[in-house]
Structure 1
């Protein structure tokens, strides 16, 4: 991404980059498109890609905190907030459906161990949502990004 091998960067995030802004922009482009693929394709090709890219984004922003302002100016903050909100709404609807099914199916019996394990494991969409939250948390250190988060209206389409 942006001329940098992401896995190598994650092994040594303090390695001096030739063009950190280009790497940041490439990471953001790839990350947003991989989030969209995970949201809209229930069987994503590589569900670990958004997690890898978010780890690289967080590491890059920790090493180069001034780049967070650049993210705010590029307009990625509303996209990330909207992705989190979309997944949150979807998760809420899915959990409500599951509760309704469990209420209808429960005749006083406890759920089996397999059902409890399945409920405790995270779906790829949930893991992507958490990775998005980590990126937003790192971006919140920037005043420009924090203002962009505050100005983002989740109810309206972006």
Structure 2
């Protein structure tokens, strides 16, 4: 398991290669990359700053990842989340999950992302043409989280 919070960009192919190395039992790797959009809620976005609490954030990401490992049979997983100033099209987050079968990998990847969007201690401030603004989780993010809670996953798994 790899959990990192960093300012530097990441290379998808390098991360996937590292997950596959020496693991012939891997049958599927599912990955998600989140990007900075140039428009959010109808406003042009010139950039974004992501803030976090060092130590606290990594611990929360670790707990989310451990919940995924307990719920599905996984071989490996990687969560890399960037912080600091970012521009439109920059990569923000990578979640990659390896398992023997695709179903576990898809479900675990979606679960991790749904919890990251709502429970991980990151704060996003966008620079728009109308000035700076803090970005809250979307209602759709909360709905996505609630499906996991309804399925028996504790809401506070990241705390």
Is TM > 0.5 for Structure 1 vs Structure 2?
no
TM-score, length-scaled by structure 1: 0.29
Q: Which has the larger radius of gyration?
A: 1
Larger helix fraction of residues: 1
TM-score, length-scaled by structure 2: 0.29
Larger strand fraction of residues: 2
